[in-house]
Amino acid sequence: MTIGTFILKNALRNKRRATLSILSVAVSLFLLTTLLVALRELTVPPEGEGAALRVIVRSKVSIANSLPARQRPIIERIPGVEAVSPFSWFGGQFKDEEATTFGQFAVDPRTFKKIFVEGKISPEAYQLFETDRQACIVGRITADKYKFKPGDRISLASTIYPVTLEFKIAGIYSGSVDDRNLFFNDKYLNESIGDPGEVGTWWIKVRSADDMPHVISAINHAFENTADEVRAESERAFQLSFISMMGNIKLFIGSICTVVVFTLILVAASTMSMAIRERFRELAVLKALGFRRRELFTFILAESFGLAMFGALLGVGGAYCLYTFGNIAHMTNGIFITSEVTPKILGAGFLVASSLGIISAIAPAIAVARMSVVNGLKTLD
Amino acid sequence: MALPITYNVRNVFIRWRATLATILGVALVVAVYVLIQSMAAGLEKSSQNTGDPRNVMIVRKGSTAESSSQVKREQFKLIEYLPGIALDAKGRPLVSGDVVVLITLPRRANAGEANVMLRGISPAGIALRPQVELVEGRWFTPGKREIVVSRRLAARFANFEVGGRFKTGGKELNVVGITDGHNTAFDSEIWMDADEARSVFDRENYSSVLVRSASPEAAKAIADRVESDKRLPLRAMLETEYYASQTMTAVPIRILGKFLAFAMSIGAVFAAMNTMYASVGSRTREIGTLRVLGYRRRAILVSFLIEGAFLAFLGGALGCLISLPMHGYAIGTFNMQSFSETVFQFRITPLLVVKGLVFSVIVGLVGSLLPAMRAARLPVISALKSV
């Protein structure tokens, strides 16, 4: 019997305990990975292909304040601006739903295509979207959720405007980082609310990344000291400011992660020391046979490290498979859409597992090192 | 005959080293559950605390929040002269036309920006909301660009102190007072004069109208009257009802709490199982002796179940104790309904504590079921022979 098989046999001697230990490590690490993935999803917004060239303009007072439609030609004249579209949150509720479950935005179909470059849709469908005022295009995730298909008519009751609008679905788009939204013609909205000459925000495409800084400052400057001062920022900065509004979510999820890890270490360490205590007499025999402390410590460490790693493989690996190959958008009803397990998250999971293996070996190892052979042999329990 | 409970209690304490880790594990699971649910409870409570049963809140039909509602000035005039409205000492109707504007402001300590709900109120607006008390400085003067801020928000946003000033909508606003909303939704608002707010933010219409009636019954009558009035495409409801419905933000917090409790409890069940199996294993001879003495299998089973439940219950109690210091601690989050920063407190209610304890007992029972069954099934003779 080699030392390797000796360790393996020992680890699996009490199969029930080994299974329970591995499973509790696996469940906890699965949870930890899930939390880290959720944290990443909430705090690191996905970056669309076109995002690097997009600017969002909102009222300086707050995003809930509207902007005058007359700002459009002024923005369009700024050098470096390629396309401008209104981008107004409609906040519609579908059927009997009590909340707005997917985003709906009023846009200008003529320029929208140039701004929303990542959305893939058939040219015929887009043609219809451009020509039919009541037409809208819907993202794949929402379309799947509600089983929408081109040609369907849906009606949405706005919580922002005093109207309920009926839309014809012209097509389904996909390929953007967030295939949940519905886009419809801004003119249709204006017509129905008596053309107040207001939009929610402006969505702008700049010619190149080099144009970005000066376009942003030119837009901010253009409306300075007017009744409607604006804040123009890159799409990325805009998303990040939205996240900062949520408050200290990092701290919140971070503390939960800490508690999970702590609980995990506690439980695993106690199991490990239980396994060793049960074997005190054998270890005393090994000591009597001439095995050194160092070797005994290696046995214990290898066993606990092995169990922890096996748990990590199941937990972190399971989470990786679920989030990479599972349809998360579908499972969470479109709340989480990317759920990417990054190498960093994988690393964190395995790092926790390995420190777990080491920490749980410490207490039993000390006990074994301190034990005198005679006492160890006398142990009954 | 059942085994005496003291037998189980003593066993739990004698093997304290093995049980301590399990107790702590269960404690942490319960603490996480109680704390997260207490956030949801605090959020709901602050909404439910808000409002006066004699007040009627009127918003545009179809709008779910005041910030997206509009009430036209002519509609406001019609409402002002509805019958049944209470009058103040000078004989004027107690009606406030409110303007709700969300403004983005920097937090303290450069911690980013967030939306704050600014409410412009008519002079009667203060008397209509007796829950709000001025604790520092003075009330704003109508016609001036002065605001009062809630004490809770003052702790979170830059320049929110008496004498502080900040710019929004191109105009400068001066902070002249600090209010305390006593754990209501008004803790998350800053107030100024309604007409001044309309001019600063260029608003033609009001967002909502608040009306005081003589009694809760009269309030219902006013609400019905507004709802049925064809000239008014408005929604009227009791102020208390309106705020009680503003608790959607608590839903995801509750779901998160349940999810975490469930996931973590799986780990805790395994831990309890491990401990109980070890406990059964090391007491094999003892169990054999008990059987010889005449205790039945069922008594052994129940005994170990009680032991597991007691073990986890200790953890649950410890978990509740760990979470208690957070009671009353104020936190803020983004409210999806009002679209602004909402401040509320952790609220550890007795019900929550009971739920936490029940939850821990369930963890204990589930975790000790298999070990207890094993103990009950031990063959007597070989159990007695084991070392």
pLDDT at position A221: 94
Q: How confident is the model at residue A363 (pLDDT cuts 50, 70, 90)?
A: confident
Which of A31, A56, A62, A322 is the mutation pick for testing B, counting most B CBs within 10 A?
A: A62
List of residues 6+ apart from A129 with CB closer than 8 A: A109, A135, A136, A137, A170, A171, A183, A185
Closest C-alpha to A136, from A174, A188, A86, A192: A188
- The mean predicted confidence, pLDDT, of chain B is 89
The reply to whether B103 touches chain A by the CB within 8 Å rule is yes
What's the token pair of residue A361?
């070996």
Inter-chain residue contact A64 with B21, CB threshold 8 Å: no
Q: Which of A363-372, B127-136, B189-198 has the lowest mean pLDDT?
A: A363-372
Q: How confident is the model at residue B157 (pLDDT cuts 50, 70, 90)?
A: very high
Whether residue A377 has pLDDT greater than 80: no
- The model's pLDDT over B343-370, given as tens digits with 9 standing for 90+, comes to 989 999 999 999 999 999 999 999 999 9
- The model's pLDDT over A232-262, given as tens digits with 9 standing for 90+, comes to 999 988 888 888 777 677 788 888 888 878 8
Mean per-residue pLDDT for B76-105? 90
A253: which chain B residues are within 8 Å (Cβ-Cβ)?
none
Residues 349-368 of B with CB under 8 A from A: none
The pTM score is 0.85
A89: which chain B residues are within 8 Å (Cβ-Cβ)?
none
User: Position B196: which residue type?
Assistant: E
Q: Using the structure block, give the residue that is written with the tokens 């000459």.
A: A197
Whether residue B376 has pLDDT greater than 80: yes
Q: How confident is the model at residue A139 (pLDDT cuts 50, 70, 90)?
A: very high
What's the token pair of residue A366?
């000390």
pLDDT at position A333: 66
Inter-chain residue contact B270 with A61, CB threshold 8 Å: no
Pairing of strands B113-121, B189-193: parallel
Q: How far is B92 from chain A (nearest CA, A)?
A: 31
B59: which chain A residues are within 8 Å (Cβ-Cβ)?
none
Q: How confident is the model at residue B245 (pLDDT cuts 50, 70, 90)?
A: confident
What's the token pair of residue A160?
């922002």
pLDDT at position A1: 66
- The model's pLDDT over B267-305, given as tens digits with 9 standing for 90+, comes to 888 888 888 888 888 888 889 999 999 899 999 999 999
pLDDT at position B352: 94
Domain residue spans of chain A: 3-45+248-378, 61-228
- Across the A/B interface, how many CB contacts are shorter than 8 Å? 151
Instruction: Name the residue among B60, B70, B170 with its Cβ closest to that of A225.
Output: B170
Inter-chain residue contact A61 with B63, CB threshold 8 Å: no
- The mean predicted confidence, pLDDT, of chain A is 87
3-state SS class at B100: strand
Instruction: Name the residue among A62, A263, A269 with its Cβ closest to that of B267.
Output: A263
What's the token pair of residue B305?
């179940």
Q: How confident is the model at residue A213 (pLDDT cuts 50, 70, 90)?
A: very high
Inter-chain residue contact A270 with B271, CB threshold 8 Å: yes
Closest C-alpha to B83, from B222, B248, B235, B258: B222
Inter-chain residue contact B274 with A274, CB threshold 8 Å: yes
Q: How far is B371 from chain A (nearest CA, A)?
A: 11
Whether residue B308 has pLDDT greater than 80: yes
ipTM of the complex: 0.81
Q: How confident is the model at residue A379 (pLDDT cuts 50, 70, 90)?
A: low
pLDDT at position B54: 92
Q: Which residue has the higher pLDDT, A284 or B166?
A: B166
- The model's pLDDT over B11-36, given as tens digits with 9 standing for 90+, comes to 888 777 768 888 888 999 999 999 99
Whether residue A11 has pLDDT greater than 90: no
Domain residue spans of chain B: 5-47+248-385, 55-212
Whether residue A381 has pLDDT greater than 60: no
Q: How confident is the model at residue B8 (pLDDT cuts 50, 70, 90)?
A: confident
Task: Give the dihedral of Cα atoms B170, B171, B175, B176; nearest 10 deg.
Answer: -170
Mean per-residue pLDDT for B209-218? 91
Inter-chain residue contact A62 with B282, CB threshold 8 Å: no
Mean per-residue pLDDT for A257-286? 78
Whether residue B1 has pLDDT greater than 70: no
Whether residue A269 has pLDDT greater than 80: no
Cβ atoms within 10 Å, residue A321: 11
Q: How far is A246 from chain B (nearest CA, A)?
A: 5
Whether residue A380 has pLDDT greater than 60: no
Instruction: Name the residue among B28, B201, B332 with its Cβ closest to that of A61.
Output: B201
3-state secondary structure A239-258: HHHHHHHCCCHHHHHHHHHH
